[in-house]
Chains A and B, each alone.
Chain A
Amino acid sequence: MKTYIASRLAQAAVVLAGVAVLVFSIMQLVPGDPVRIALGTRYTEEAGAALRERAGLDQPVLVQFFSWAGSALTGDLGVSFRSGEPVTALIVERLPATISLAVVSIVVALLIAVPLGTISALRPRSVVDGVATVFSQAGISIPDFWMGIMLIVFVAPLLALPTGGYTPLTEDPAAWARSVVLPAITVGVTSGSILTRFVRSALLEAADSEHVRTARSKGLGRGTVLGWHVMRNALLPFVTVVGVQLAYLLSGVVVVEIVFSYPGLGELALQAVQARDFPLLQGAVLLFALVFLVINLAVDLSYAALDPRVGTR
C-alpha cells in the first residue's frame, strides 16, 4: 500500500510539473498585452515600460518561467500585477468561500440524487422513474446563470435571503448559511441531476448482475439485497463521480459565482484572465490541478476501504 501511495504521489508531481509548463506556455500564446490591459485607457509608452520592468516581463520567457517555477516550489506564487498582492494570499482569502459552496452544493446534490436515483432504479420505467427522469433532464438543461437570476429575483425577496455576497462561517454561522444557500441550490440542482442519472444506472447495472440474482434466489429480503448486494457494488463508480464533481466545484463555479457576486476562486480566475494577470492565473490553475490530483488520489485510496477486493494484491 505504501509503495502504491508513493508511486501515485510521484505521478502527481510529474502531472503538476506538466501542468505548470502547459499553463505557462498557454499564457504566452493568449493574445493581449497584460501591461496594456493593466493600464487601460491611461496607457502611455513610459508607463508601460515601467510596469513591464517592475513585473519582470522584459525578461526572456525562459527566465520568467524558471524564476516563477522556482519560487512556486516554496509556496511563493509571485505577486499579482493587477492588485500588487501575493498570489498565495489572494487564493487563500477565497478558499473558505469556495470550499463552503462546494461542500454545501455536493450535499444538496446528494440529497437530490440518492433518493431520486434509488427510487427510479427500484421501479425502472414506472411513472416515478419517468418523473425523476424529467426532473433530472430539466436540471441538466436549465442554464445555471438563468436559474441563479430566477432565485435572486423571486426566491431571495420571498425568504429574505441576501441577493449575493458571502459571510464567513467564523463571523456569523446563520448569515453564512443564508449567503451560501441560493448559490448552492443553483449548483446542486445541476450536479444532483447528473448524479441522479448516474445513481439510477449504477444501481440498475448492479441489480442486474449474477450475484444479485443469486441473492434473490436465496430468498433474501428486498431490503437486504438492495442495501448489501446492490448498493455496495454501485458505490465504487458512484464515489468516483462524486469525487470528480467535488473537484470540479472546488475549482470555482465561474458563472454561478458571478451571478451571486460570490467571492470564490472561479471569479478570481476570471478576473485574472480578463486582466491577463499571469501570476494569479498560473497560481489558480496550478491549484485547480492540485485539487483534482488530491481528490483523485483520495478516491482511489477510498476504494480499498469500500471494497476489500481492491486492497488485496
Chain B
Amino acid sequence: MRPTTSAVPPVRPVRRASVLVAGVSALALTLAACSSGEGVDAEGLEDAPDPSASAEDAAGGDAPAGTLVAALANTPDQFDPHATTSQASFQVLENVYDTLVVPSAEDLTFEPSLATEWTTSEDGLEWVFTLREGVTFHDGSPFDAEDVAYSLNRIIDEELANAFRFTNVTSVEATGDLEVTITVSAPTPNLLANVGGFKGMAIVPSESAELDLATQAVGTGPFELVSTSAGGVELAAFEDYWGEGPSIEGVEYRYVGESAAALTGLENGDIDWTDNVPAQSIEGLAQTEGVELGQTGGSDYYYMAFNQTRPPFDDVDVRRAIAYAVDRESITEAATFGAGTANQTAIPSASFWASDYAPFDQDTAQAEQLRADAGAEGLEFSVMVPDSDEPAVASAQVVASQLAEVGVTMDVDTVETGVFLDRQGQGDFDAFSWAWVGNIDPFDFYQAQHLTDASSNFQGYSNPEVDELLTQAASETDQDARKDLYAQAEQLIVDDVSYLFYFNPDVVEAWSSSVSGYTARPDSAVNFETVTLTD
C-alpha cells in the first residue's frame, strides 16, 4: 500500500444542525480520500554506481553500536510471515526470520541459510535438507527439523498466503534431528525458490501455536522484534545469532508515507535509511551531501494485458498492431524518470533466465497495416489502471498518445485499486495495465499469468503449445534444458501479445552517509544484518 495525500482539504461544517452530517461527511471524505491501494508495490529501480560497494564493513568484532532509523513508505499489515502479503511487512521480517535457503544479493541464486546443504533423489521426487547446527530461536529454544516441518506444514495445512507454492509437495517431514525431507508429486526444479524466495516461507518455532504470530515474532534471524506500535517497530540485535551477527544495536522502523518528510528527515539526520524515494527526486538526491543513493535493476515488471475473450482483442493481429505502435523507451522514461529498463519480456536482463527476445520495435507503418488488415478501423478501447500506482498511470498516458498517432483511441480509466482487482477478476475490461513484483524463478514470471485458465490469467490467453512448454518446464530438472523450454514459451507469449511487456523498474533506496555495508538488492529485500553506523 502506498498512501498518498489527498488534495481535498477537509470540510468543516460550522452550523449546529450539521453535527451528524459532519460525522457522515467525515466518512465520505475518508472514502473519497482513498486514492491509494494495496497490492503490487513496484517500488523499484537500476544501476547507478552503488555507493555502498566501496563502503567496507569497518566494525569487525567490535560491540554493536548505534540504532539505525529506517523510514518505510508503507505500513505493514501484520507480522505473521506466513499470512501477510504486504511488502512492508517483509521489509521488517527479512531481518527477523530465516528460511532454509536465501537468494544471494548479487544474482538471486540460492545459498545456504538454515539448511547447509541439500540433495535431490534420482527421480527428483525427494529433497533432503541438512540443517544448520547450533541455531537458537529468539526465545532461547533450539532450532531443529521439527520446526521446519511445523512451519512449512502450517502454510500448507492452514492454506496461508504462500500455500500455492507447495501444490506439488506431498509431505514435509523431520527425518532426523537436523534433517528434513520434502516429497513432491512431480519433479520441482524451482523448489528452492518456493521454500526460500523470501520470508513468506520463514521458519517459526514448532510451539508457535501458543504465540500470536501476527504481533509477536520468534525467529532465528539477526534481529529480534522488541515492540510494535501504530507508528513503527523496534528491532534489537540478537546476541545468539548463528551468523556473524549485526554490528548495530538495533533498527527502529518508522512508517513515513509522505516522501517529503522521509527525505527531509534523511537530510537532517533524523532518518538513516528510506525506501520512500519517488523517481522524480532521484536526480536531486544523487547530488545531496550526506545522502547515498542505491539503485539497482529490479525484478518487477510493468505490462498491459488485453481481454482476449472478446473482440477486438481476440484477434492476435490487433494486439500485435498495438505492440508495434508503442515505444518502450519513452514509456520507461516517463514512468520511472529513467530509473528502469525497457524490456519486451518479463525477465530482467541480469537474470540467468533472461533472453534477449525483442521482436516488436516501434514501427507505426506496420502497426497501421496490421490494424487495417484486421479490419479494426477506428479502433477505440479503454485501459483500466490502478490509481495507486503512479508508474502504471504514467505508462498508460504515454501509450495513449503513441496509439493516437496510429489512429487508435485509448481511454485511460484510472480506478481505485479495490475496484481494479474486482473488475479484473470478473473480466470486466477491454485492457488493463499494472505490474507484478518480486519474481526470481521463471515459473513465477509466466506460469500463473499465461497458462490456460491459470489463477492470474485474467486476459483469457490460451495457447496449447505454451501450456505444453510451461508444464514441461515446471518439472524439468536440467537447468539448461529448463531455460530453453522457458525461452520457447516466452517467445510465444511475446509473439501472441498475451501481455505487452513494458519495462523492469529499478529498486531505489536512499540512506545517510553514516550507514555503510548496505546494498540495494534486485529482489528489493531490505537486510540490515551487515550494516554499520558511523557518526
Binding site for B on A (CB under 8 A): 15, 19, 22-23, 26, 30-34, 36-47, 50, 82-85, 90, 93-94, 97, 143-145, 148-149, 152-153, 156-157, 160, 162-166, 190-191, 194, 198, 240-241, 244-245, 247-248, 251-255, 258-263, 266-271, 273-276, 285, 288-289, 292, 296
Interface 0/1 of B257-268, CB less than 8 Å to A: 110111011011
Task: A253 to B13: give the CA distance in the assembly, Å.
Answer: 14
CB of B164 within 8 Å of the partner chain: yes
A292: chain B residues at CB < 8 Å are 19-20, 22-23
Query: CB < 8 Å: which of B162, B163, B265, B419 contacts A164?
Result: B265
CB pair B261 A40 closer than 8 Å: no
Please provide the chain B residues from 153 to 180 with a CB less than 8 Å away from any CB of chain A in the complex.
158-164
Q: Is the CB of B214 within 8 A of A163?
A: no
Cβ-defined contact, A258 with B229, below 8 A: no
How many angstroms between the C-alpha atoms of A270 and B3 in the bound complex?
Answer: 9
Please pick, from A19, A26, A40, A153, the residue contacting B39 in the complex, using a CB distance under 8 A: A40
Q: A32-B416, A244-B13, A285-B27 are in contact. List 5 more A-B contacts (CB 8 A).
A: A145-B9, A251-B26, A261-B258, A274-B1, A274-B418
Contact A83 B422 (CB under 8 A): no
Q: Contacting chain A: which of B73-81, B393-401, B519-527?
A: B73-81
Q: Say whether B36 faces chain A, with CB atoms less than 8 Å apart.
A: yes
Nearest-CB distance from B266 to chain A (Å)? 9
Residues on A with beta carbons closer than 8 Å to the beta carbon of B159: 46-47, 50
B281 contacts the other chain (CB 8 A): no
Which residue of chain A has the shortest Cβ distance to B4 in the bound complex? A258
CA distance A265 to B19 in the complex (A): 19
Central interface residue in B80, B267, B270, B421, by most chain A CB within 10 Å: B421
Given contacts A270-B3, A270-B34, A275-B77, contact A19 B261 (CB under 8 A): no
**Is B29 an interface residue when CB atoms closer than 8 A count as contact?**
yes
Listed by A's residue number, 30 A-B pairs whose Cβ atoms lie within 8 Å are A22-B24, A31-B422, A32-B416, A32-B422, A42-B161, A47-B163, A50-B158, A85-B214, A85-B215, A143-B7, A145-B5, A148-B258, A160-B268, A162-B265, A163-B268, A164-B258, A241-B14, A248-B26, A251-B23, A255-B33, A258-B257, A258-B258, A260-B261, A261-B231, A263-B231, A266-B30, A271-B3, A271-B75, A274-B37, A292-B23
Given A37-B421, A244-B22, A292-B22, the answer on whether A268 and B230 have CB atoms closer than 8 Å is yes
- B144 CB to nearest A CB, Å: 27
Chain B binding surface SS class: loop
In contact, B261 and A271 (Cβ under 8 angstroms): no
Which of B231, B254, B255, B455 makes the CB contact (< 8 A) with A45? B455
A36 to B386, alpha carbons, bound, how many Å? 14
A-B pairs with lowest CB-CB distance, top 7: A32-B418, A263-B230, A84-B214, A263-B231, A40-B39, A50-B159, A163-B265
Q: Once the chains bind, are B1 and A275 in contact (CB under 8 Å)? A: yes
Determine how close the nearest CB of chain A comes to the CB of B486; give it in whole angstroms: 20
Instruction: Decide: A30 near B230, CB < 8 A? Known: A85-B78, A163-B268, A274-B1.
Output: no
CB distance from A198 to the nearest CB of B (A): 7
Is there an interface contact between B231 and A165, defined as CB atoms closer than 8 Å?
Answer: yes
Q: Which residue in chain A gives the minimum CB-CB distance to B436?
A: A41
Contacts A41-B436, A194-B12 given; indicate if A153 touches B260 (C-beta within 8 A): yes
Cα-based distance from A160 to B1 in the complex (angstroms): 30
CA distance A152 to B5 in the complex (A): 14
Residues of B within 8 A of A254 (CB): 6, 10, 29-30, 33
Closest to A251 in B: B26
Find chain A residues with CB under 8 A from B1 CB: 271, 274-275
CB of B418 within 8 A of CB of A33, answer yes
B66 is an interface residue with CB less than 8 A from chain A: no
Given A15-B20, A292-B22, also A261-B27 (CB < 8 A) = no
B38 touches A152 (CB 8 A): no
B290: Cβ under 8 A from any A Cβ: no
Determine the interface band of chain B, counting residues with CB < 8 A from chain A.
35 or more
In the complex with contacts A32-B416, A191-B12, A41-B19 CB distance below 8 A: no
Determine the chain A residues whose CB is within 8 A of the CB of B270 once the complex forms.
Answer: 162-163
Tell me the nearest residue of chain B to A149, going by C-beta: B260
A273 to B3 CA separation, bound complex (whole angstroms): 11
- Least distance between B162 CB and chain A CB atoms (Å): 7
Q: How far does the Cβ of A14 sit from chain B's closest Cβ, in whole Å?
A: 12
Q: How far is the CA of A153 from the CA of B215 in the complex (A)?
A: 34
* Contact A40 to B40, CB < 8 A, known contacts A85-B214, A153-B264, A157-B268: yes
Q: Specify the chain B residue showing the minimal Cβ separation from A34.
A: B418
- A248/B12 in contact, CB under 8 A: yes
Contact B421 A94 (CB under 8 A): no
Q: B470 contacts the other chain (Cβ, under 8 Å)?
A: no
- Name B197-234 residues within 8 Å CB distance of A: 212, 214-215, 229-232
Specify which of B3, B30, B268 is in contact with A269 (CB 8 Å cutoff).
B30
Min C-beta distance of B500 to chain A, whole Å: 18
- Write the nearest CB–CB distance from B91 to chain A, whole angstroms: 15
C-alpha gap A156/B231 in the complex (Å):
19
Q: Determine if A46 and B164 form an interchain contact, defined as CB atoms under 8 angstroms apart.
A: yes
Output the least CB separation between A302 and chain B (Å): 13
Query: Which listed residue, B8, B26, B161, touches A47 by the CB 8 Å rule?
Result: B161
Chain A residues within 8 Å of B254, by CB:
164-165, 261
Partner of A244, one of B10, B16, B267: B16
Q: Assess whether B63 is interfacial by the CB under 8 Å rule.
A: no
Contacts of A85 in B (CB 8 A): 78, 214-215
Does A36 lie within 8 Å of B421, measured CB to CB?
Answer: yes
Nearest Cβ on chain B to A276's Cβ, whole angstroms: 6
**Chain A residues within 8 Å of B425, by CB:** 33, 36
Chain B neighbourhood of A244, CB < 8 A: 12-14, 16, 18-19, 22
Q: Which residue of B lies closest to A51 (CB)?
A: B159
Contact B9 A144, beta carbon cutoff 8 Å: yes
Which parts of B57-116 form the interface with A (CB within 8 Å)?
A: 75, 77-78, 80, 83, 85-86
The minimal Cβ–Cβ distance linking A193 to chain B, given in whole angstroms, is: 10
Closest residue of chain B to A97 (Cβ to Cβ) is B230
Distance between B30 CB and nearest chain A CB, rounded to angstroms:
5
A258 in contact with B231 (CB, 8 Å): no
User: A33-B421, A42-B162, A163-B264 known; A194 and B14 CB under 8 Å?
Assistant: yes
A189 and B31 CA atoms in complex are apart in Å by 25
Most buried by B among A247, A252, A271: A271
CB pair A40 B38 closer than 8 Å: yes
